Structure 1
Amino acid sequence: MSTYQSVFKRYEKKYMLNEEQYRHLLKRAAGKVKEDKFKQSRINTIYFDTPDYHLISASLEKPLYKEKLRLRSYGTPHGHDQVFVELKKKFQGVVYKRRTIMSLEEAVEYLYHRKPARNASQITQEIDWFLKFYGEIGPAMYISYERLALSGIEDPGLRITFDQDILWRQDELDLSMAPWGRSLLAPGQRLMEIKIAGAMPLWLAHILDELAIYPSSFSKYGKAYLTSSAGQILNKGGKIIA
């Protein structure tokens, strides 16, 4: 993780796939995509929120602007292993993500105990402002999943990810703990995300149309929250009522 991209601006579209759609899509996309540098990995994430879950409950109302703070690792980190602190914003359909890399130990001191970042930057200044603005904010949800990541061969700005075995929990909000939790998807389901800087490649749009794969507004943290006891008051008849 010696080199990494710290700033992103792109469109992100989500799709829920069954096993058959997943297999056919990979077959038809062969020659157009390749495994990216992370290939297949276990991603573990801690989402931060207020005690009353203000950030996720506001996000579920689908506003024009929303933001979230998370701590992410590839695999289960310990001590000096590197992790990402990410501030993700979405405005009018465009996703802006800024992230900085720290050791797990430093990230815990920074986010859990509010100690100053050891290597201050423009990104940590933005995170500092976020933490100050929302006040009493802390770890709220752990989400872990297996991800296959692909990138475009002729379209270098294209990235496609497939997530499965998505687990969530509200206990042991610590990335150094082993992945465990309640399942978020039904057996055989995969969450696909298409990440692009501009228009979707025509070949990919044709494949989605042929396989009857349509966009979904699925949110891992949102779904886990609504499934939790804290989110039950928001979910009645599939609608947000708070």
Structure 2
Amino acid sequence: MAIEVFNRYEKKYLMDNETYEKVQNALSEYMELDEYNKVNNTYYTICNIYYDTQDNQLIRHSVSKPKYKEKLRLRAYGVPSLDAKVYLEIKKKVNGLVNKRRTKLTLKEAYEFARTGIKPKYQSYMNKQVLNEIEYLLKMYVLEPKLYLAYDRIAYFGINNRDLRITFDTNIRSRRTDLRVELGDHGEPLLDEGIWLMEVKAEKSIPVWLSRMLSENKLFKTSFSKYGTEYKKMILNNITKEDDSDCSMEYIMSRLA
């Protein structure tokens, strides 16, 4: 059974193709490819729908860098059919600790649950506790699909430490129309071509060899949220379209708030 509850710290790093190759080679001694990558010996595609209020309350709160934040998203691996299994998940972050809780549903069930707030009839592949938590969240907020976001991923697990996971995401793309994952994984690029986002995910501190590798490749932790970056990019694009004379930092921050 796939893991449905995660508690871990996540550190993020941005790098170009050249650095990615160096880092990937350095990992081979300590880590092995995720099963998804082993199947086709290449990356796999993750497709997400992020839910938010009509006025973007959740992401506006998130980009303000609070001690606590939460989000609801639907996650599929590849482009699914309506009958395929996907995940509906709550992701929370408290003082740097990431807690992710998810349940498997069919895509049709996930859409209906998120739309109505009514739990689907229980099936053996579902997580009852997570269904209850999502139901509560849907009562707290009036949520709707706001963003489609996809990326191609290569992931590794520690050979001797399965709690250590490192992922590399590239070709991050998004759209704010056609907000259904079965409609294809197209979208506008979020970062420049050839840029990779590396995430180091661990329940405790990272090993010495990994710290050394990060230092040798001059990689420094960055604060990067895919959804948050897309939201800020959207706001800046809207400001440009409005051709507003007041483009001061104070004005921009007021639009993000």
Question: Is the TM value for this pair above 0.5?
Answer: yes
What corresponds to 1:10 in structure 2? 8
Indicate how the Cα distance of structure 1 residues 125 and 49 shifts in structure 2: closer, same or farther if over 3 A, else same. Answer: same
Matched, 1:83 2:81: no
Counterpart selection for 2:181 from 175, 181, 206 = 175
- Tell me the SS of whatever aligns to 2:182: coil
Counterparts of 2:236 and 2:26, CA distance in 1: 42
Contact 1:106 1:118 in 2 (8 A): no
Structure 1, unaligned runs of 5 or more: none
Change (3 A) 1:123 1:230: farther
Using structure 1 for the length normalisation, give the TM-score: 0.94
User: Is 2:139 aligned against 1:127?
Assistant: no
In the TM superposition, what are the counterparts of 1:151-230 in structure 2 within 5 Å?
151-229=157-235
**Further displaced range: 104-113 or 7-16:** 104-113
Q: Is the 8 A contact 1:225 1:231 kept in 2?
A: no
Give the structure with higher Rg (CA).
2
Aligned to 2:71: 68
Structure 2 residue runs of 5 or longer lacking an equivalent are: 38-42, 240-246
Shift of 1:174: 0.2
Q: Determine the C-alpha separation between the residues in 1 that align with 2:248 and 2:93.
A: 26
| Cα-to-partner distance string for 1:165-191 (whole Å, 9 max, x where unaligned) | 100000000011111111001111000
User: 2:49 maps to which residue?
Assistant: 46
For residue 82 of structure 1, report the CA deviation from its aligned partner: 0.4
Name the count of aligned residue pairs: 238
Deviations 1:179-204 (A, max 9, x none): 11110011110001010010101101
Distance of aligned partners of 1:222 and 1:107 in 2 relative to their CA distance in 1, 3 Å threshold: same
Length-normalised TM-score, structure 2: 0.88
Greater share of residues in helix: 2
Partner Cα separation in structure 2 for residue 232 and residue 202 of structure 1 = 45
Contact 1:89 1:96 in 2 (8 A): yes
Structure 2 CA distance for partners of 1:213 and 1:174, relative to 1, 3 Å: same
Q: Distance in 2 between matches of 1:199 and 1:232?
A: 41
RMSD (CA atoms)? 1.8
Q: What is the SS of the residue equivalent to 2:148?
A: strand
Report the CA distance between 1:231 and its aligned residue.
7.9
Distance 1:224 1:189 in 2: 15
Q: Percentage identity across aligned positions? A: 39
Contact 2:4-2:101 within 8 A present in 1 as well: yes
Q: Which residue of 1 aligns with 2:242?
A: none
Alpha-carbon distance in 2 for matches of 1:100, 1:182: 29
1:117 is aligned to: 120
Partner of 1:176, secondary structure, is: helix
Letter of the aligned partner of 1:21 in structure 2? Answer: T
